[in-house]
Copies of this chain bind each other. A is one copy, B any other.
């Protein structure tokens, strides 16, 4: 057997753990394989639990982000997972490996950003573990939340012939990362737009109210948050729902400054939009008769909601329609272990 982990990739590693994971406790409704695990609390309410790890020089650089922004983002990425199941986040647990050379001011800044985000979303910090790190800042946050059991939205509920929606815009975070990496914009992007992109990357705003509203009104048959990239995340939803999807490139809500930046560089903004990741909006599917109510919810909450395509019976295949030609695409978004890093669309499948 080849002993090289990079061949397995992030999702192969998850499968390694998932395939051996035991499910013996009867209170568990959903285990590995969704945005959160779900457990029954009292026959009516469910407990949602999710965890994310952020490591220095992998997920962030301390030189790019103020400590306060790191604190905010550490909480936000987890809150987004609760949002994706229609839950209400309520408690946070912080594991933090603090570099021995970290300054008090920076730790205080991190704490403030974390608190800002937790308060904004009604979450209490309930526990954690504080350790010294000889190898950079390491942050691991576990978020717990609740939802009425009948409202929990899983990745697995979509059926062929349903609408696929994106809530929020696409590509801002990836373009912001591109700027943070020190790449220059050859003109065309004003300071506000530049800031908008960078803030999208550093201070994401999870769509908790939207997720909960869709869940309460039973408007989403399946939902996932946009963390790895549209193709990757929609791919997970399709896998779990055993459906495929067709998405229309022209319907994608690409963030305007992202479009401008890409144009000025001669790049295709589509790439950032479908593979960029970390936008922390939501992708969800809706029965045809619920399209109008979904649009109304977006209007009420002032969140852009875009119909980007539909589900198909072609299990786990995502087809992208660009300029009237349709091709199956790789669902790779950001794969932490793949040697190529970000995925590229495959060649068209005949």
Interface residues of A (CB under 8 A from B): 1-6, 8, 10, 13-14, 16-17, 20-25, 27-28, 31-32, 36-37, 39, 41-43, 47, 49-59, 90-91, 93-98, 100, 102-105, 107-108, 111, 115, 118-119, 122, 124-136, 138, 140, 142, 144, 336-337
Residues in B whose Cβ lies below 8 Å from that of A133: 55, 58
Pick the contact of A58: B10, B52, B134, B336 (CB < 8 A).
B134
Instruction: Tell me whether B32 and A128 are in contact (CB under 8 A).
Output: yes
Instruction: Tell me whether A90 and B25 are in contact (CB under 8 A).
Output: yes
Pick the contact of A118: B22, B104, B122 (CB < 8 A).
B22
Q: Which 8 A-B pairs have the closest CB atoms?
A: A135-B135, A42-B42, A140-B140, A53-B95, A37-B126, A21-B125, A142-B142, A132-B336
Complex-state Cα separation, A13 to B132, whole angstroms: 11
Instruction: Tell me whether B142 and A104 are in contact (CB under 8 A).
Output: no
Q: Give the Cβ gap from A144 to chain B, nearest Cβ, in Å.
A: 7
Q: What copy number does this chain have within its complex?
A: 2
Instruction: Tell me whether B4 and A125 are in contact (CB under 8 A).
Output: no
Instruction: Tell me whether A127 and B36 are in contact (CB under 8 A).
Output: yes
CB-CB under 8 A for A5 and B39, given A55-B131, A124-B25, A135-B56: no
What is the chain B residue whose CB lies nearest that of A105?
B3
Question: Which of A20, A98, A130 lies at the interface centre, i.e. has the most chain B CB atoms within 10 A of its CB?
Answer: A130
Could you jot down 29 A-B contacts, CB within 8 Å?
A: A3-B104, A4-B104, A5-B103, A10-B130, A10-B132, A17-B94, A17-B111, A17-B125, A17-B128, A20-B111, A21-B125, A22-B124, A25-B91, A27-B90, A31-B124, A31-B127, A36-B127, A41-B47, A42-B43, A49-B93, A49-B144, A50-B93, A53-B140, A56-B135, A58-B133, A59-B131, A95-B142, A131-B336, A132-B337
Residues in B whose Cβ lies below 8 Å from that of A17: 94, 111, 125, 128, 130
CB-CB under 8 A for A131 and B91, given A25-B124, A142-B142: no
Complex-state Cα separation, A90 to B31, whole angstroms: 12
Pick the contact of A126: B16, B31, B58, B93 (CB < 8 A).
B31
What is the chain B residue whose CB lies nearest that of A52?
B129
Residues in B whose Cβ lies below 8 Å from that of A91: 25, 28, 37, 39, 49
Q: Give the Cβ gap from A96 to chain B, nearest Cβ, in Å.
A: 7
Q: Give the Cβ gap from A25 to chain B, nearest Cβ, in Å.
A: 5
Instruction: Tell me whether B41 and A42 are in contact (CB under 8 A).
Output: yes
What is the chain B residue whose CB lies nearest that of A10?
B130
Instruction: Tell me whether B5 and A93 are in contact (CB under 8 A).
Output: no
Pick the contact of A122: B24, B32, B42, B93 (CB < 8 A).
B24
CB-CB under 8 A for A130 and B13, given A103-B3, A135-B56, A142-B49: yes
